[in-house]
Amino acid sequence: MDYLQIQGHTTLHGSIAVSGSKNAALPLIAMTLLSQTKVCLGNVPDVVDIKTLLKLLQNLGATCHFDDHRITIDTCCLTDTKANYDIVKTMRASILVLGPLLTRFGHCEVSLPGGCAIGQRPIDLHLKALEKMGATISIKSGYVVAEAANGLVGAAIIFDKITVTGTANIVMAAALARGTTTITNAAREPEVVQLCEILHQSGVIIEGIGSAYLTIHGTDRALLDIRSFDVIPDRIEAGTYLCAGAITNSTLTLTNIEPKHLETVIAKLEEMGFRCDIAQDHMTIHPAKTIKPITIITQEYPGFPTDMQAQFMALCTQAEGTSTIEERLFENRFMHVSELQRLGADIKLSGHSATITGPSKLSGTDVMATDLRASSALVLAALVAEGETDIHRIYHLDRGYEKLEKKLQALGVFIQRAKE
Ligand code: EPZ
């Protein structure tokens, strides 16, 4: 197993190019199941989760080619509609094939994803919505078995809770359904917006894109003609590197970004005292005279993203005073707290809230990554810790951060991958 060795007390210099968004690319790859033509996606991040979903599609009989951030996928000759446990257990986002497979073929089986480090993460809302669209759903031997022999029909879906992959799944299911589907309380994340835009450009009429109320006019099982497009930049990777600049109090430039998607993150950094110069597709963060404490409450987009909570917690350890972070989306997304404490952070947990008092003098030691964003928080803390920090179980990082150590090395960080 690989681990990362990082020498702390460092200052960053230079610029970093942000990769394409993992969480946008995943639903877009699932969407290719709706296409009668070969689809070409550009600006795809070269990370493990993307390869996992491609493997799933290949197992179903699709032809996939991934080279230099471009993927070509041909799903015309699919031979199977069963997404096996072996793959789904490694990546929950595999559930994104449920809606497309069911709406296209009228039946499918997708393994239930199982447990997760950050919370229970049920898929009940996906299933309830598909049932409302006419599907018969049963759980057999750990698999969701879904049937809609005559195709799905448009329905009025009201999500009790905002769900990102749930919205994506139902939008894709509705795209080939018979009649019109409305989704109330839809997710408004940029990744969902891009999915809707590409479907709309490919002939599915979708109204309300970017709002919480979507109307999707289905094609009654006519497959789509999806062509080529580029995936949007990864706002969470960008936010993570902004925190790297901030925690080391460096001047750092990010390129290939969409500043609009980063508004709440940038606002919090400015509140902490960092100056941000923002241009159309790049920005520079400058050091703060004093790093001020903040209050964060995670929310659905456009609120503060739960996927940036851990990284900001690391940053708050260097603020002058007490910050509070409330996690509202996932009940168990504080696994990084005990690892940050091992580095010397002063963090108190009470239910869904953490209180972080800084500035703390962190010192390097061995720590363990527990999920993707928790891992990146440990990398950030290691950048300011005295001495060497060894981060174990970095397979979590490899799922969602492309070439993290190469990008940081280019900024002057001593970071290297080693074998246990
Ligand atoms: C997406 O997960 C992201 N994953 C997550 O990114 C992100 O943390 C999350 O949205 C929230 O922004 C991808 O895009 C692939 P949800 P998703 O359904 O869609 C509850 C990362 O680090 N819920 O929006 O699975 C759920 O338990 C990751 O890149 C139900 O109760 O999240 C949670 O409390 C991890 N029933 C809340 O809704 C359901 O049927 C939001 O979850 C579905 C969800």
Note the pLDDT of residue 341.
Answer: 98
161 lines ligand 1 (CB under 6 A): yes
124 lines ligand 1 (CB under 6 A): yes
Note the pLDDT of residue 115.
Answer: 65
Note the pLDDT of residue 118.
Answer: 77
* Residue 162 alpha carbon to ligand 1 centre in Å: 9
* Residue 170 alpha carbon to ligand 1 centre in Å: 14
Choose among 272, 280, 342: nearest CA to 304: 272
Beta strands 275-278; 70-74: pairing state: unpaired
Instruction: Give the tokens for residue 136.
Output: 């018969």
Note the pLDDT of residue 161.
Answer: 97
Which atom of ligand 1 lies nearest, measured to the CA of 128? 40
Kindly list the strands in the beta sheet with 2-7, ordered across the sheet, starting from the edge strand earlier in the chain. 366-368, 388-392, 2-7, 415-419
**Helix, strand, coil shares of the chain as percentages rounded to 5?**
35, 30, 40
In whole angstroms, what is the distance from residue 174 CA to residue 65 CA? 27
Q: In this structure, which residue's CA is closest to atom 27 in ligand 1?
A: 121
> Rounded to two decimals, what is the model's pTM?
0.98
In whole angstroms, what is the distance from residue 192 CA to residue 386 CA? 41
Choose among 305, 294, 311: nearest CA to 327: 305
* Residue 16 alpha carbon to ligand 1 centre in Å: 28
pLDDT in tens, the chain (420 residues): 899 999 998 999 999 999 999 999 999 999 999 999 999 999 999 999 999 999 999 999 999 999 999 999 999 999 999 999 999 999 999 999 999 999 999 999 999 987 677 777 899 999 999 999 999 999 999 999 999 999 999 999 999 999 999 999 999 999 999 999 999 999 999 999 999 999 999 999 999 999 999 999 999 999 999 989 999 999 999 999 999 999 999 999 999 999 999 999 999 999 999 999 999 999 999 999 999 999 999 999 999 999 999 999 999 999 999 999 999 999 889 999 999 999 999 999 999 999 999 999 999 999 999 999 999 999 999 999 999 999 999 999 999 999 999 999 999 999 999 999
| Total Cβ atoms within 10 A of residue 175 | 31
| Total Cβ atoms within 10 A of residue 132 | 17
